[in-house]
């Protein structure tokens, strides 16, 4: 028998809290509804506090369910002057505000509203630090790694490492609160071709993650783990993780912004596995809005390439390449250009293929994205690219190293940066390790000998080199050319 009024609401809130702790989300919702009914008959001086407590638990429930709209509603309620003024406790007000900012940042991240997510998470972390709530501060910082991808992968990595360092110092290195930072860092490292290092952090994320944890983080971890399996050539294991990620998305009330990527890569993996009927069925079952995304256009192109229809693949890629399809970050565009290159090769248009590869390299360069080249199996495309036709030689070398099974060195020597070479100077530079004379280089590049001489002098000056061999050595140290570089 439930007690009436405030006492009944208090009991219901205790049950709801226990339900949330143990992942009984439906039971928690039922107990919160019961608490609300009892609150209606509670004394006026208790009613506001009970409503605040209910809103806090509803906020946790909505975040766990991926119910984005409900999170925003509860945050708005907790931010109203009526709530904050009624408590009469500055510390409680600040706790509520920091907690609300954290949850608002979470749903904004999963909606890819990253600018607002970053702002709210930083505000939450700052407020938590001010009021002496280190656990809440770590919770905000752990989410910043994902939100910071809007700037660069380098900043995302730095933010994740900051959160991990603080949590380790506090003794929370294996706590669930840190799982978002660990998953984000591990995924970022896989993107940049550092799969061995990424695996270490993803294992920590898996150990820290709870089966009933907030679903957005679980989906991020599943996606990053699938990427790791692809890097290892384990397509079946990758498909299992992607299928698990699809199930996670299906349990969320809101549409996670990474859902298109999960669906697209699951379809792509099925196609590459020869599961063409399953791939077609998955495409047909997609919600209309998700089906219009660039990630799904890419998946459709992979299916068409697998079916031996490169012309249809190029048609599917059209909305992505022309900027009409919404995409998640630049890596979807990198993938699209690599798929276009594959289609052009199959249509015997090598010039168009090389142009598509160069565009993919240009888009990948800022964050040094390597995984798209791994996932699309682009080793043969890159090996056939004439070295003098790319302005991204150092990145090309790193990608080929990874595709050939080598690891990217973690501790390369730090060298003073050379003044940036022009694209034409880079083309000339590619021939300096060979035995070709300047006349032969000029003939190969359709330049005059005088022009080649001018470029060589400029290369020497920018690389602080006195002769050809010194310039080659300096260029190799800077990874502008490979140690075994040769021109085609």
Whole-Å CA distances, 152 to 145, 158, 171, 258:
10, 10, 29, 18
Query: pTM here?
Result: 0.74
Beta-carbon-side half-sphere exposure of residue 220 (alpha carbons within 13 Å): 28
**Contact of 145 with 156, CB cutoff 8 Å:** yes
For residue 30, give the nearest of 19, 41, 21 by alpha carbon.
Answer: 19
DSSP 251: T
Is 156 a domain residue? no
In a domain, 406, yes or no: no
Q: Across residues 131-139, what is the average pLDDT? A: 90
What is the extent of the structural domain holding 463?
Answer: 419-488
Would you state the pLDDT for residue 335?
Answer: 97
- Residue 198 has a pLDDT of 94
pLDDT at 244: 93
Give residue 460's pLDDT: 87
The pLDDT of residue 397 is 87
- Report whether 379 contacts 404 (CB < 8 A): yes
d(CA 337, CA 314): 10
Element (H, E) at 58: helix 44-65
Contact yes or no for 153/188 (Cβ under 8 A): yes
Mean pLDDT of the chain: 84
Q: Which is more confident, 145 or 481?
A: 145
- Which range is least confidently modeled, 223-227, 231-235, 384-388? 384-388
Spatial distance between the Cα atoms of 7 and 140, rounded to a whole number of angstroms: 34
Tens digits of residue pLDDT in 448-480: 888 898 899 888 888 888 888 888 888 877 767
Q: Structure tokens of 147?
A: 């939100």
Whether 170 is in a domain gets the answer no
Q: Taking a C-beta distance cutoff of 8 angstroms, is the pair 379, 338 a contact? A: no
Cβ atoms within 10 Å of 369's Cβ, excluding its own: 23
115, HSE (Cβ side, Cα atoms, 13 Å): 0
Q: Which residue has the higher pLDDT, 211 or 259?
A: 259
Say which residue, 442 or 413, is predicted with more confidence. Answer: 442
Q: Is residue 431 part of a domain?
A: yes
Q: What is the mean pLDDT of residues 298-316?
A: 96
pLDDT tier for residue 3 given thresholds of 50, 70 and 90: low
Helix (H) or strand (E) holding 260: helix 259-272
Cα 292 to Cα 109, 112, 271, 315, 326: the distances in Å are 21, 17, 19, 14, 8
Statement: residue 338 has pLDDT above 50: yes
CA 91 vs CA 127, 130, 136, 150: distances in Å: 11, 11, 14, 33
- What's the pLDDT at 21? 66
The domain tally of the chain equals 1
CATH for 436: 1.10.10.10
Tens digit of each residue's pLDDT (9 = 90 or more) over 17-31:
777 666 677 888 888
Residue 44 lies in a domain: no
Question: Which pLDDT belongs to residue 105?
Answer: 85
pLDDT on residue 80: 62
Using DSSP, state whether 438 is helix, strand or coil.
helix
Query: What integer pLDDT is reported at residue 429 of this predicted model?
Result: 86
Q: How far apart are CA 319 and CA 314, in angstroms?
A: 10
What pLDDT, in 10s, does the model give residues 70-120?
766 766 666 664 444 444 444 446 777 788 888 888 888 887 888 988 998
Does residue 250 surpass a pLDDT of 70?
yes
Local confidence band at 63 (pLDDT 50, 70, 90 cut-offs): confident
In a domain, 186, yes or no: no
Name the token pair of 118: 């970053």
What confidence score (pLDDT) does residue 47 get?
75
% of the chain beyond a pLDDT of 90? 39
* 451 belongs to a structural domain: yes
Higher-confidence position of 389 and 348: 348
Task: Quote the DSSP letter at residue 485.
Answer: -
């Amino acid at each position: 028998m439930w007690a009436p009024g405030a006492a009944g609401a208090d009991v219901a809130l205790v049950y709801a809290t226990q339900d949330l702790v143990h992942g009984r989300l439906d039971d928690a919702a039922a107990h919160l509804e019961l608490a609300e009914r009892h609150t209606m008959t509670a004394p006026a001086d208790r009613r506001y506090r009970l409503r605040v407590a209910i809103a806090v638990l509803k906020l946790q429930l909505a975040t766990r369910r991926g119910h984005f709209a409900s999170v925003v509603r509860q945050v708005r309620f907790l931010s109203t002057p009526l709530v904050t003024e009624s408590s009469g406790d500055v510390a409680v007000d600040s706790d509520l505000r920091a907690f609300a900012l954290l949850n608002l940042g979470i749903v904004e991240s999963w909606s890819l509203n990253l600018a607002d997510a970053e702002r709210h998470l930083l505000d939450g972390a700052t407020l938590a630090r001010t009021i002496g709530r280190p656990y809440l501060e770590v919770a905000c910082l752990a989410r910043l790694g994902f939100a910071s991808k809007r700037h660069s992968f380098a900043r995302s990595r730095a933010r994740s490492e900051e959160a991990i360092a603080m949590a380790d110092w506090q003794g929370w290195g294996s706590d669930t609160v840190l799982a978002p930072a660990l998953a984000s860092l591990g995924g970022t490292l896989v993107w940049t071709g550092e799969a061995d290092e990424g695996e270490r952090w993803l294992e920590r994320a898996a150990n820290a993650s709870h089966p009933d944890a907030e679903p957005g983080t679980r989906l991020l971890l599943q996606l990053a783990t699938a990427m790791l399996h692809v890097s290892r050539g384990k397509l079946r294991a990758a498909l299992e993780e992607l299928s698990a990620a699809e199930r996670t998305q299906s349990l969320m009330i809101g549409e996670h912004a990474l859902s298109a990527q999960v669906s697209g890569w699951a379809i792509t993996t099925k196609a590459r596995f020869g599961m063409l009927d399953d791939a077609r069925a998955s495409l047909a079952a997609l919600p209309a809005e998700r089906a219009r995304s660039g990630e799904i256009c890419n998946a459709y192109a992979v299916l068409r390439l697998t079916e031996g229809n490169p012309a249809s693949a190029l048609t599917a890629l059209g909305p992505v390449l022309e900027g009409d399809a919404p995409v998640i970050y630049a890596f979807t565009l990198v993938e699209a250009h690599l798929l276009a290159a594959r289609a052009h090769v199959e249509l015997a248009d090598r010039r168009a293929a090389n142009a598509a590869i160069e565009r993919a390299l240009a888009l990948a360069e800022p964050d040094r994205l390597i995984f798209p080249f791994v996932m699309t199996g682009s080793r043969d495309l890159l090996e056939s690219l004439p070295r003098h036709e790319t302005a991204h030689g150092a990145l090309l070398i790193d990608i080929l190293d990874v595709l050939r099974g080598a690891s990217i060195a973690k501790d390369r020597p730090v060298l003073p940066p050379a003044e940036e070479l022009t694209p034409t100077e880079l083309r000339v530079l590619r021939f300096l390790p060979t035995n070709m004379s300047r006349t032969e280089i000029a003939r190969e590049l359709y330049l005059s000998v005088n022009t080649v001489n001018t470029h060589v002098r400029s290369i020497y000056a920018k690389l602080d080199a006195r002769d050809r061999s010194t310039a080659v050595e300096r260029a190799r140290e800077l990874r502008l050319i490979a140690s075994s570089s040769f021109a085609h």
